[in-house]
């Protein structure tokens, strides 16, 4: 498999060699790449899980349960209040 670098931004490139992902930083200087990180498949999977969890945590909302009136953190796809466990609606509190 040909290794093709993809520019991610901020001088960072990613390349997949058929096994793992190599991240490099390149600034067009003689010492390029100035940094190299080789992510083995297990580490790529762990990183993707980290990003998914991060995206999910950034999507958390704070609201008041319309049934028990508890102020809780919940995800937009949450169907039950974490306090009273009833299917409910939340008053969004920001």
Q: Which helix (H) or strand (E) holds 16?
A: strand 12-16
Select 32 or 83, whichever has its Cβ closest to Zn ion: 83
Stretch that binds Zn ion, among 22-30, 31-39, 53-61, 73-81 (CB under 5 A): 73-81
| Under rule CB under 5 A, residue 26 binds Zn ion | no
Cα gap 41→14, rounded to integer Å? 14
| Under rule CB under 5 A, residue 84 binds Zn ion | yes
Using DSSP's 3-state secondary structure scheme, residue 45 falls into: helix
* Least distance to Zn ion, CB of residue 35, Å: 49
């Amino acid at each position: 498999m040909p290794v093709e670098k993809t520019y991610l931004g901020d001088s960072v490139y990613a390349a997949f060699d058929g096994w793992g992902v190599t991240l490099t930083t390149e600034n067009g200087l003689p010492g390029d790449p100035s940094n190299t990180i080789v992510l083995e498949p297990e580490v790529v999977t762990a990183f993707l899980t980290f990003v998914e969890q991060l995206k999910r945590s950034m999507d958390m909302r704070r609201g008041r349960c319309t049934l028990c009136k508890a102020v809780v953190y919940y995800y937009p796809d949450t169907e039950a209040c974490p306090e009273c466990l009833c299917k409910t609606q939340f008053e969004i509190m920001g």
